[in-house]
Amino acid sequence: MGRELPLNRTRNIGIMAHIDAGKTTLSERILYYTGKTYKLGEVHEGTAEMDWMIQEKERGITITAAATTTMWKNTRINIIDTPGHVDFTMEVERSLRVLDSAIAVFDGVAGVEPQSETVWRQADRYNIPRMCFVNKMDRIGADYDRCLSMIREKLYARPLPLQMPMGAEDRFAGIIDLVKMKSIVWTDPLGEHIEEREIPSEFVEKAVKLREQMIEGLAEYNDEIMEAFLEGAAIEEVVVRKAIREVTLSSNFFPVFCGSALKNRGVQPLLDAIVDYLPSPKDIRPVEGHNPKKLEETAVREANDKEPFSALAFKIMSDPYVGRLSYIRVYSGHSKTGDVVLNVSDGKKERIGRILRMHANDREEVSEVYTGDIVALVGLKTTRTGDTLCDEKSPILLEKMQFPDPVISIAIEPRTKADQEKMNNALRRLEDEDPTFRVKIDEDTGQNLISGMGELHLEIIIDRLTREFNVSANIGKPQVAYKETITRKVEMEHRYERQIGGKNHFGHVVLMLEPAKPGSGILFESRIGAETIPGAFVPVIESGVRDAMEAGVLAGYRMVDIKATLVGASYDEADSVDMAYRIAATMAVKDGARKAEPTLLEPIMKLEVVVPDEYMGDIISDINSRRGKIDGIGMQGLLRVIDAHVPLSEVFGYATGVRSLSQGRASHTLQFSHYDQVPRTITDTIVARLMGRLY
């Protein structure tokens, strides 16, 4: 059995946006019009196919990136519907890592919101071509032109409107296609019947102006259009479409479409555009990796079924029916059920038990997988998120994914002894699925600590423990994941001399510790030559430095943003050993950190509150009382938008506070921004509490 469709008839797309912009509703409409589902699922009714987890149905939000495969105009479209809530940003990150393109959905009323910016920057990082869909054009306050301005100003991107709405709010009657210069109207409530008509006279002037701007933009990058534009000649539709595809693939422009997914308007033209303008796996650069035997050597795989097999596992999931699922994106070659592949990341071989094409929570079994496919494999035992799978005869190591450290922890303990083992197994499985979720045992208290990206993230984890794994547990209060750093430069010497088992052990180092730039982590540099000590000891000393930084001197939190420079050492030919230098380095760091005025760093959250004018004063006072810093106040229609930065420790349960201050009329978003120094008085309180003096 060969490939069903040529590779250039495959599209791998993600749907991304701020929470509540309508991503999942758009995905549901795509599935309906492509014949994948036979009824329209609604998020607000809990019937959306793509939001299949019980927690998603209850909350009306997307938590896990759901994958599905559908067909439109003889093209296979693999879609990943990603979450919009900041606590689940990592789901977006790992999806974008394996996708070729994305659709950014914007709320026609709110425009570019905080999480829209976050996901846009993530897509920038992976250099992914995007199209924009301005949704909810039927809602009160919808403004297409304002959304275009916000895309320019907030995302620093160049939108290329290929459509404009005919009216807005309750007068939203249809769409004008600026490529064909026709109006498109939907003649039935389900949006299946489309009619192309002439553009109504009241919209002609604006449509002509927008089309001219579109042609001018394309002329910058296309000589044929430039010549025709300068001569005032007519430009054929096929030439315009080819130019749009070119500027989309190069990310010089981002085509913009509009509609109302909930009212079934605007989805089919978007599907046509996915086929016409977004890249197939053949259109993107060949994937690059490293030769695992010689990491400095680059290895390349073309998107071709004849190349050796290579794939990236981007998500692990526990399925109650088939067990552990490993989602993979195939970059080259093909494989079939029963094949043995090499997991380059851990050097182990894995046998492919079954291959499943996923449709949210349902599945269709296939026997082979080809270049460009996104599928789930059953039977892989050791593969984790970010691992590379490939042909064992031609190994390649693809770039791993980077995951941020969790910012919030809570203590969790089983209610009964019978729950202990169940809980340990469940936590292991959840940690396997989610790289931003961590489990550890606190060495001082012996408690199980679970850590994640926010309150909602941990709330969902606990909910899943109870429902999916039937674990009864007691939950502690949220704890902030502080870090430690130093505030001044010091030089520290440590000499280690011991006799162990009748043999002398000698190590001597002089280290300079100094504060480094925020976000730089731990830096190490050696300024001594081989004439001082043999070069083999330098990595050992660095290892000792990094070990010491794992637990700080104030309260045992990890030390970061410190540069350690090895400025001196001495060597004894008879007694110098690795362990002695490692211990000397560790002790020098500990002693030095105590003298370098250590301080705590705390996670700072970016807060945006949208609030009616009459409650603004109360909200600002509340933010100030939480040690917050107001960055700016803007307008969104008739509402005020307050931008601020607030320490995470001060915003636990903020949703309740903001609701009561505004009688439920304000909305807010919180997302992690950066780490900053904790004021000295608060540091003392935290340290005293942790050392048990305030119990």
What's the CA gap between 308 and 305, in Å, rounded? 8
What's the CA gap between 315 and 298, in Å, rounded? 25
Asked whether residue 686 carries a pLDDT value surpassing 50, the answer given is yes
What's the CA gap between 187 and 195, in Å, rounded? 7
Quick one: pLDDT at residue 183?
A: 93
For the chain, the farthest-separated pair of C-alpha atoms sits apart, in whole angstroms, at 99
Residue 377's H or E segment, with its range, is strand 374-378
Please report, in angstroms and rounded to a whole number, the separation of the first and last CA atoms in the chain: 69
Per the CB < 8 A criterion, the answer to whether 217 and 225 are in contact is no
What's the CA gap between 111 and 404, in Å, rounded? 27
Per the CB < 8 A criterion, the answer to whether 316 and 383 are in contact is yes
Helix spans in 278-399 (H): none
Asked whether residue 42 carries a pLDDT value surpassing 80, the answer given is no
Quick one: pLDDT at residue 39?
A: 46
Q: Place 62 in a pLDDT band, splitting at 50, 70 and 90.
A: very low
Beta strand 629-636 with 522-526: parallel, antiparallel or unpaired?
unpaired
What's the CA gap between 392 and 566, in Å, rounded? 42
Per the CB < 8 A criterion, the answer to whether 159 and 146 are in contact is no
Quick one: pLDDT at residue 446?
A: 65
**Residue 223 structure tokens:** 């000589």
Q: Place 540 in a pLDDT band, splitting at 50, 70 and 90.
A: very high
What's the CA gap between 502 and 297, in Å, rounded? 46
Quick one: pLDDT at residue 132?
A: 94
Residues in the chain: 695
Quick one: pLDDT at residue 444?
A: 53
What's the CA gap between 612 and 609, in Å, rounded? 10
Quick one: pLDDT at residue 149?
A: 93
Q: What integer best gives the mean pLDDT of the chain?
A: 84
| 327-336, 396-405, 574-583, 601-610, range with the lowest pLDDT | 396-405
Please compute the mean of the pLDDT values over residues 502-523 and round it to a whole number.
Answer: 90
Which percentage of the chain shows pLDDT scores above 90? 32
Please compute the mean of the pLDDT values over residues 258-265 and round it to a whole number.
Answer: 89
Asked whether residue 542 carries a pLDDT value surpassing 90, the answer given is yes
pLDDT tens column, 553-609: 888 888 999 999 999 999 888 888 889 999 999 999 999 999 999 999 998 988 888
Quick one: pLDDT at residue 387?
A: 87
What's the CA gap between 104 and 127, in Å, rounded? 14
- Number of Cα atoms under 13 Å in the Cβ half of residue 279: 22
pTM: 0.70
Tell me phi and psi for residue 526, to 5 degrees: -115, 130
What's the CA gap between 95 and 118, in Å, rounded? 14
Query: Among all chains, which residue has been given the structure tokens 């067909």?
Result: 71
Query: Among all chains, which residue has been given the structure tokens 């790289």?
Result: 435
DSSP for 442-490, written as a single string:
-TTT--EEEEESSHHHHHHHHHHHHHTS---EEEEEEEE--EEEESS-E
Please compute the mean of the pLDDT values over residues 629-637 and round it to a whole number.
Answer: 86
Per the CB < 8 A criterion, the answer to whether 161 and 211 are in contact is no
Query: Among all chains, which residue has been given the structure tokens 């936590």?
Result: 427
Residue whose C-alpha is closest to residue 108's, from 80, 136, 66: 136
Residue with more model confidence, 54 or 536 = 536
**Residue 268 structure tokens:** 């089919």
pLDDT tens column, 429-474: 888 877 788 888 766 556 788 888 777 778 878 888 887 788 888 8
Quick one: pLDDT at residue 320?
A: 65
Tell me phi and psi for residue 171, to 5 degrees: -100, 10
Per the CB < 8 A criterion, the answer to whether 493 and 588 are in contact is yes
3-state secondary structure of 383: coil
* Helices vs strands, H then E, count in the chain: 16, 37
Tell me phi and psi for residue 651, to 5 degrees: -120, 20
What's the CA gap between 380 and 371, in Å, rounded? 19
Query: Among all chains, which residue has been given the structure tokens 């009212």?
Result: 263
What's the CA gap between 102 and 80, in Å, rounded? 9
Quick one: pLDDT at residue 435?
A: 79
DSSP for 229-268, written as a single string:
HHHT----HHHHHHHHHHHHHTTS-EEEEE-BTTTTBSHH
What's the CA gap between 289 and 298, in Å, rounded? 6
What's the CA gap between 475 and 462, in Å, rounded? 9
Query: Among all chains, which residue has been given the structure tokens 């999480």?
Result: 115
Quick one: pLDDT at residue 46?
A: 42
**Residue 163 structure tokens:** 């459509």
Residue whose C-alpha is closest to residue 372's, from 317, 276, 301: 301
Per the CB < 8 A criterion, the answer to whether 134 and 106 are in contact is yes
Asked whether residue 53 carries a pLDDT value surpassing 70, the answer given is no
Which percentage of the chain shows pLDDT scores above 70? 90
Q: Place 288 in a pLDDT band, splitting at 50, 70 and 90.
A: confident
| 120-124, 139-143, 318-322, 407-411, range with the lowest pLDDT | 318-322
